[in-house]
Amino acid sequence: MLDRPRFLWLFFSLSGRVNPSAYVLAGLLPLLVQLFLLYQFSRTPLGTAASQYWALAWWIAVVVSTWSTFALTAKRFHDFGKPTYYALISLIVGAILLIILAFFKSDPGPNRYGKRTNAPAES
Does position 22 have pLDDT exceeding 80, yes or no?
Answer: yes
pLDDT at residue 90 greater than cutoff 90: no
Instruction: Note the pLDDT tens digit of each residue in 39-73.
Output: 999 999 998 999 999 999 999 999 999 999 899 98
**DSSP-assigned states of every residue in 81-105:** T--THHHHHHHHHHHHHHHHHHHS-
Query: Is residue 34 within 8 Å of 66, Cβ to Cβ?
Result: no
- pLDDT reported for residue 15: 85
> What is the DSSP code (8-state) at residue 123?
-
Supply the angle between the helices 4-12 and 20-43 in degrees, to the nearest 10: 90
97-110 per-position pLDDT tens digit: 667 767 877 778 88
Tens-place pLDDT, residues 32-46 = 999 999 999 999 999
**Is the alpha carbon torsion for 18, 24, 25, 31 positive or negative?**
positive
Res. 112: pLDDT tops 80? no
